[in-house]
Structure 1
Amino acid sequence: MPQEFTGLCQLLEHIEASCRHTERVSLELVIDAVGLGSYAPFLLVVGLILFSPLSGVPGISTSMAALLLLVAIQLLLGRKHVWLPQWLLNRSISKKKLTRALHWLRRPAEFADHWMQPRLHFLVKRSGTYAIATTCSLIALTMPLMELVPFSATTAGFALTIFGLALVAHDGLLALIGFTMTALLTLLLAHTLL
């Protein structure tokens, strides 16, 4: 049965506790910690990784883009459980780097938990969820371009975190903020690359 999280701080604590007894932390271990039954924690974890200092680790952005695309497509297809290839699940980083990133995220998590609440449900139910999944797919497909624009991957990570939080907390206002951030990111990329 998947773990139900009432806030971002609880999710971060659960990930850290699950990785306590290993020196290298695989994506599979993190996914097992957040539970396979829900897409929302996946989006949240991918967003947090891209938003945190971990995004600077070589190969992390590409792996997260592949994970994001796989998860978003499966959400669009209406799958109940997420399937991921073993090569992606085997990707790992040191526990020290993960712990440092989790501690860095603690203060923003406390701030987010304070403001999240269920509202504007239509933006996080059925058609709203499909809109979020479509937007996340587009973000994943543009990740290679973000390598050319400073801080754009961090901004994308923040938008994905917002979408994940929106789905976890059933907060449509956060989804609206995520859509707005994605639109601004798209304009920034277009302006910079054209």
Structure 2
Amino acid sequence: MTHHEPTHALSDVLDELEQSVEGEEILVEDVVEALGRRSFAALMLAFSLVSTSPASAIPGITAVVAALVFVLVAQMIVGRKSVWLPRFVTRRRLSTKTLCKGIRWLRKPVRFVERFLKPRLTWLFHRPWMWLPLTLVMGLTLFMPFMEIVPTSGSIASAIIALFAASLLTRDGVLALISLALLSILPVGIYLWL
């Protein structure tokens, strides 16, 4: 039996995000450049984590993250090789202070989760299996702007998207199935709440 080294894929995304920060504000475009235009999963993880962290208290951040994730997922479904984002999204500015606060807050939970992640059930990351979670994530992003009305629901939605993005980065099919189950349950939970 081969021993799997613990993955640092998620911490690496936080490191790259932190290294891209300079000045008082950072453009979304700078974050995209720092993480790489080919890394759909890393970008999805980074933006959904920002929306899960205390930075989600910024009005409108959930809607911006929803738009970003929607555009990323749409491109993954059609099989684009590199990320394209509309200018109204890439020109958005984020407060570096809030972003860094969010990154620091995420360090511990990310490090804890990483210990359990490893490549397994990797067939789930091939077509047509991939289309189901991607379609569910896409559907979820359409509801996220309205979730700002219900406290913490936007953060919960972002956390589920972050889990799915983490499963993509680490090729962990078990985590993908967990996020898929949560993606299926969340709309029901919100409906019952309302």
Q: In structure 1, what is the Cα distance between the partners aligned to 2:125 and 2:8?
A: 16
- Structure 2 match to 1:134: 135
- Structure 2 match to 1:60: 61
Question: Where do 4+ consecutive residues of structure 1 move more than 3 Å?
Answer: none
Q: Structure 1 unaligned segments of length 5 or more: list them.
A: none
- Structure 2 match to 1:102: 103
What fraction of aligned residue pairs are identical, expressed as a percent? 34
Q: In structure 2, what is the Cα distance between the partners aligned to 1:52 and 1:166?
A: 19
Q: What secondary structure, in the 3-state scheme, does the structure 1 residue paired with 2:85 have?
A: coil
Q: Is the 1:26–1:93 contact (alpha carbons within 8 Å) kept by the matching residues of 2?
A: yes
Q: Structure 2 unaligned segments of length 5 or more: list them.
A: 1-6
- Structure 1 match to 2:168: 167
Q: In structure 1, what is the Cα distance between the partners aligned to 2:102 and 2:149?
A: 24
Whether 1:9 aligns to 2:50 is: no
Per the TM alignment, residue 66 of structure 1 is displaced from its structure 2 partner at its CA by 1.0
Per the normalisation by structure 2, the TM-score is: 0.91
Q: What secondary structure, in the 3-state scheme, does the structure 2 residue paired with 1:173 have?
A: helix
Give the 3 Å change call, closer, same or farther, for CA 121–85 of structure 1 in structure 2. Answer: same
1:123-170: CA deviations, max 9, x gaps? 222223222221111111111332233321111111011011000000
- Structure 1 match to 2:71: 70
- Aligned letter for 2:9? G
Whether 1:82 aligns to 2:83 is: yes
- Aligned letter for 2:164? F
- Aligned letter for 1:8? L
1:88-127: CA deviations, max 9, x gaps? 1011122111111100000011012111100011222222
Q: In structure 2, what is the Cα distance between the partners aligned to 1:6 and 1:127?
A: 28
- Structure 2 match to 1:181: 182
Q: What secondary structure, in the 3-state scheme, does the structure 1 residue paired with 2:164 have?
A: helix
**Structural RMSD (CA):** 1.5
- Aligned letter for 1:18? S
Q: What secondary structure, in the 3-state scheme, does the structure 1 residue paired with 2:94 have?
A: strand
Per the TM alignment, residue 6 of structure 1 is displaced from its structure 2 partner at its CA by 4.1
Q: Is the 1:26–1:92 contact (alpha carbons within 8 Å) kept by the matching residues of 2?
A: yes
Q: What secondary structure, in the 3-state scheme, does the structure 2 residue paired with 1:93 have?
A: strand
Q: Is the 2:14–2:46 contact (alpha carbons within 8 Å) kept by the matching residues of 1?
A: no
Q: In structure 2, what is the Cα distance between the partners aligned to 1:141 and 1:94?
A: 25
Q: Is the 1:75–1:130 contact (alpha carbons within 8 Å) kept by the matching residues of 2?
A: no
